[in-house]
A = this chain, B = another copy of it.
Amino acid sequence: MKSTPLNYPKMKKILTCIISLLLLNHVTAQQATPISASMNKVKLDFILDAGGRPEYKVDYAEKPLINTSRMGIKLANDISLDSNFMVINTERKSVDEQWKPVWGEVSTIRNHYEQVTIHLKQKNNLGRLMDIVFRVFEDGVGFRYEFPIQPNLKYFIVSDEITEFALTGDHKTFWIPGDYDTNEYPYSTTKISEIDNRSMVNASDDIAVKVCPDRYAVQTPLMMKTADGLYINIHEAALVNYSAMQLHVDTKTFKLKASLVPDAIGNMAYMRAACHTPWRTIIVSNKAGEILTSKIILNLNEPSKIENTSWIKPMKFVGVWWEMQTGKSTWNYSNNADIVGADGLLIPNHTHGANTANVERYIDFAAKNGIKGVLVEGWNYGWEEWFGNWKENVFSFVTPYPDFDVAAIAQYAKDKGVVMIMHNETSGSATDYERQMDTAFRFMNKYGYTSVKTGYVGKIIPRGEHHDGAWMVNHYVRAAQKAAEYHIMIDEHEPVRPTGLQRTYPNWMACEAGRGNEYNAFGHGDKPEHETIMPFTRFIGGPMDFTPGILKVKDYTVLPNKQVHTTLVKQLALYVVLYSPIQMAADLPENYEKYADAFQFIKDVGVDWDDTKIIQAEPGEYITTARKEKGTENWFVGAVTNQDSRDEIAPLDFLNKGQKYIATIYADGLDADWDKNPESYKITTYLVDANTKLKLKLAPGGGAAISIKPVSGDTKGIEKYK
């Protein structure tokens, strides 16, 4: 990751491309018949229409999945790359390979696709070149536009992308508004014809920064279900140097069109040939669970650019955080940044959470319970007026408040075998963060912090830019790259939603970019169905720092009318259902001590996995997921339901045949209910094996969590499950 001249490392590759192009010198006539590629049930057709307009369609199981849809982009200065093309050549490639992620839901990933590259040239004297590359997988299609080195297209500005997804019917859709600055809306479930984000945008007064000019725009990953029971997910992969793709919905024709997030002056991307767009992705299956296990997004990303990944370690963590969310303490040290005491320092408000004694209490708790990390928010100067003012220089990332003894805390944590997690909130001032980044990361190295949680609450600086615009897209990548230089893992809050870049930068453990548990504190809360939709939408792009594990579901210290909209047990189940290689145990130590037997599941559950099985799933209704902890024979199962109670059979046929296991079942109490009685639970232990079929009873807004470990000692007194 050391500094090298920009672009130059890629030159050999580019030279190879030029040579390849020279070999393809026989120009073919315009194709009347489609150019096709298939894998199993998925069939892709590319067509140039009479106007030389590139179009594609996708069939699944011999039925139309995506009707004929337009392709191409438009550039500044009235340059159109969406028509008047001819096909000059076609290349094909078959790939079937396996690779191992540094961490993940499975230990080995198969990358199996048919690729077809269509070399297009415009039929005018400029003869501009554009390639469209399709990859057809067993469970969907990815495609992108590529621009080779050519005489009449070098630097260019993207003004619009023409890409369409022409749907075949008025599908059921799980959507959030296509906002330029936030992904933190609750999900709406409607028909396509009913999509209109206006009322949701207006109602969402719990979101700090919202910019959503198109009432018919929705965010991706967009999850849909057809009347025929097909599940479709549209998203993008490897979003770099381009703005996020949202979808503008034609509610009459069911056509979705790419809608890019503009920069401060209305442009979408600044490119330089040779270059390419991100991949546009369509995942499809007749089984909802296969949407959850699809690896198309990861497979379309580049392999890790970090050679030595030994320092990247999944973990669980606690933190000085929920106590601020619930009003027990504050991020800010003082109540007025304009007044100082006789010592020249801010006057303390004595409600500041990130004080040394309190932090050491969390370290003690983590050490005692085998939780590896401790996050502390509010440790540094700036929180007195941290967001909402579009201020550029808000925080120092190396200056602790007077009551936070960074050196003593670092030593205390080290002595206890705990690692500290840095917090760098930027208030959206990305320019200021980039200025301080090197200094901030050196500070982390000095004090032994191995990971950082970043944040972007507020309007973005450079002013006029958006969280999901191309400049910020590159900023998030730069932050991950810079963190990697310093061997720091990163967890970005309020970024653009992920597109699988964690494969390329495996120190990029998670991000937020979605509506997390925190909205149950300061906001209108998450509906009980929320966590049954999130894995089909937000999590398709990558892990989320959702911050599960709030066991004191109601009656927070200060906020009497707020509560988590799940049962206690569903909070446990989320550690399995919501995938992340870093998982917070988000509640207060005192609440975990109160529910120490339930907390045992959080202590036990894995954070990195050899295998993942979706036992059953239906978006908006239920998900039951089983995962095998990496390098062990331990399995963990999480089941969640929406507002409806549910009886479920969970066969454990993924267990090794003939092996006996002990299952600890954390179940909703019989009288449990997310609203009326959320903290009712029951823990039972049984002997199980691959033939066991667990009968789970999920309360309204409830769930179940099960840890399954091979029998290793005395099983006396443990019943066989029946």
Contact = CB atoms under 8 A, between A and B. Distances in A.
Interface stretch (A170-178, A296-304, A459-467, A603-611): A459-467
A464 B5 contact: no
A471 B462 contact: yes
Interface string A336-354: 0111100011100000000
B265 A381 contact: no
A391 interface: yes
Contact of A272 (B345, B389, B435): B389
A382 interface: yes
Q: How large is the interface on A (under 10, 10 to 19, 20 to 34, 35 or more residues)?
A: 35 or more
A58 interface: no
Interface string A469-492: 001001000100000000000000
A114 interface: no
A396 interface: yes
Interface string A361-405: 000000000000000000001100000011111111011000000
A79 interface: no
Contacts of A398: 3
A113 to B, nearest CB: 29
Contact of A155 (B267, B389, B438): B389
A605 to B, nearest CB: 39
B339 A396 contact: no
A149 interface: yes
B396 A11 contact: no
A3 B400 CA distance: 12
A396 B270 contact: no
Interface of A is mostly: loop
A264 interface: yes
B431 A382 contact: no
B149 A338 contact: yes
Interface string A237-275: 000000000000000000000000001110100101010
A4 interface: yes
A645 B388 CA distance: 63
A264 B464 contact: yes
Interface in A1-24: 3-8, 11-12, 14-15, 18
Contacts of A8: 337, 340, 345-346, 381
Contact of A431 (B6, B267, B340, B462): B462
A697 to B, nearest CB: 54
Nearest to A436: B3
Copies in the complex: 2
Contacts of A264: 264-265, 462-464
Interface string A298-340: 0000000000000000000000000000000000000001111
A214 interface: no
Nearest to A398: B3
Contacts of A4: 396, 399
B339 A5 contact: no
Residue with the highest number of chain B CB atoms closer than 10 Å, among A154, A345, A462: A462
A611 B456 CA distance: 53
A372 B471 CA distance: 42
Contact of A6 (B14, B340, B396): B396
Nearest to A430: B431
A339 B389 contact: no
B438 A15 contact: no
B12 A270 contact: no
A435 B462 CA distance: 14
A396 B398 CA distance: 27
A477 to B, nearest CB: 12
A595 to B, nearest CB: 39
A675 interface: no
A48 to B, nearest CB: 28
Contacts of A293: none
A263 B392 CA distance: 14
A391 to B, nearest CB: 7
15 contacts: A4-B399, A6-B393, A6-B396, A8-B381, A15-B340, A149-B338, A155-B390, A263-B463, A264-B264, A264-B462, A264-B464, A270-B390, A435-B478, A462-B462, A462-B465
Task: Rank and list the top 3 A-B pairs by shortest CB-CB distance, nearest first.
Answer: A462-B462, A5-B381, A264-B264
Given A154-B389, A155-B389, A431-B431, 6 more contacts: A5-B381, A5-B399, A15-B339, A157-B390, A267-B463, A462-B464
Interface of A: 3-8, 11-12, 14-15, 18, 149, 154-155, 157, 263-265, 267, 270, 272, 274, 337-340, 344-346, 381-382, 389-396, 398-399, 431, 434-435, 437-439, 462-465, 471, 474, 478
